[in-house]
């Protein structure tokens, strides 16, 4: 009788879990935090330094945080776009944030020698930084054998080494303050091997290696590390993506008919993950979340499905463009 009840309980749990994955646009932990976890409002008054804040996920997360009274350092290369985001943040805060509470900081992330001076400037402005959100980065689309070695190096300079360098500076600051949080925009590509983005996928796997090591070292030392892993999102990332050739941009635009998460929704989920100090959070529209669960927890089943589906259809889950998928197939 007891074993029958246990069996029924396991079956019901599995069914509920499966249904949740079919309905949710994020992993189950993050969905629970969204409904029952700590409010983003708990971050009110804290200072968040955001790289890549001039567009996309960085911009949308900044707006969500501003809505909840978080003071901001907006860093990116384009001052004009940063000023636009600042105005949006101040408006969204509805008077809670004043002009001095949002600092615009033009910054080239690939200029590693400038990082400390700029971070120190922001820390002096606010008398300290509480959260570093490493969001800047670029994606890539190319067949593995067509990628020049120079592209691997360029992409790692931006997506990995700039993040690691700025993180080290922030950790030194947090060690002195006794607390702090590092958040990094990784990708679903940092969790699983995705097709036709080898340099990008490798860079995100490298980020997971660095940040998981950092989290292990800082366990119990009041420094949190949060990896944010979005899937396809409505941003300008495709236009700016690397290809297989140095200096070349992919140049494709995201279509309104594509199956992607909105930037606003992604920013909301990122803010929830930061507020709840999650270790790793996945966010993507169906069916990517079930695919990630299969890849992570049932790799044999995933491998069988991949053989049945093929890399071209996997590619189309990211970029809903049949022509591009055919180009890579050929």
Residues designated catalytic: 200
Classify the phi-psi angles of 98: left when phi > 0, otherwise alpha if psi is within -120 to 50, otherwise beta.
beta
| Residues 226, 223: Cα–Cα separation, whole Å | 10
Q: Which of 327, 293, 263, 49 lies closest to 166, judged by CA?
A: 49
CA 119 to CA 128: how far, in whole Å?
10
**226: nearest Cα among 172, 181, 180:** 181
Provide DSSP, 305-328: HHHHH-HHHHHHHHS--HHHHHHH
Distances in Å between the alpha carbon of 247 and those of 148, 150, 153, 167, 251? 11, 9, 12, 27, 12
Place of tokens 């949308």: 60
Q: What is d(CA 111, CA 162) in angstroms, rounded to the nearest whole number?
A: 8
Strand order in the sheet with 223-230: 102-106, 71-76, 47-51, 131-134, 180-185, 223-230, 280-283
What are φ and ψ of residue 190, in 5° steps?
-85, -10
Q: Specify whether the backbone of 216 is left (phi greater than 0), alpha (psi in -120 to 50) or beta.
A: alpha
Burial class (CB in 10 A: 0-12, 13-18, 19+), 59: buried
Q: Tally Cβ neighbours within 10 Å of residue 114.
A: 12
d(CA 83, CA 74): 9
Between CA 149 and CA 215 the distance in angstroms is: 31
């Amino acid at each position: 009788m007891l074993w029958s009840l246990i069996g029924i309980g396991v079956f019901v749990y599995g069914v509920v879990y499966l249904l949740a994955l079919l309905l949710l646009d994020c992993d189950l932990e993050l969905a629970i935090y969204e409904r029952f976890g700590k409010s983003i409002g708990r971050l009110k008054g804290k200072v968040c330094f955001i790289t890549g804040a001039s567009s996309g996920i960085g911009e949308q997360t900044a707006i969500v945080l501003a809505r909840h009274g978080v003071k901001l350092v907006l860093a990116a290369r384009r001052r004009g776009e940063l000023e636009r985001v600042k105005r949006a943040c101040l408006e969204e805060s509805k008077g809670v944030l004043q002009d001095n509470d949002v600092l615009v900081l033009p910054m080239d992330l690939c200029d590693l020698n400038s990082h400390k001076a700029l971070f120190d400037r922001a820390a002096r402005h606010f008398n300290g930084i509480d959260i570093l959100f490493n969001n800047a980065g670029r994606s890539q689309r190319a067949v593995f054998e067509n990628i020049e070695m120079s592209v691997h190096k360029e992409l790692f300079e931006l997506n990995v080494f700039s993040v690691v360098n700025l993180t080290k500076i922030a950790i030194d600051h947090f060690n002195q303050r006794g607390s702090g949080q590092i958040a990094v925009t990784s990708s679903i590509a940092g969790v699983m091997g995705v097709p036709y983005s080898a340099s990008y996928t490798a860079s995100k796997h490298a980020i997971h290696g660095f940040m998981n090591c950092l989290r292990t070292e800082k366990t119990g030392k009041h420094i949190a590390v949060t990896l944010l892993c979005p899937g396809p999102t409505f941003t300008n990332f495709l236009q700016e993506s690397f290809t297989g050739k140095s200096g070349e941009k992919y140049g494709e635009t995201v279509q309104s008919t594509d199956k992607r998460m909105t930037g606003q929704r992604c920013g909301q989920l990122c803010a929830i993950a930061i507020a709840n100090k999650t270790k790793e959070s996945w966010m993507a529209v169906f069916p990517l979340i079930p695919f990630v669960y299969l890849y992570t927890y049932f790799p044999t089943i995933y491998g069988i499905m991949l053989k049945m589906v093929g890399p071209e259809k996997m590619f189309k889950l990211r970029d809903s463009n049949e022509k591009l998928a055919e180009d890579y197939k050929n």
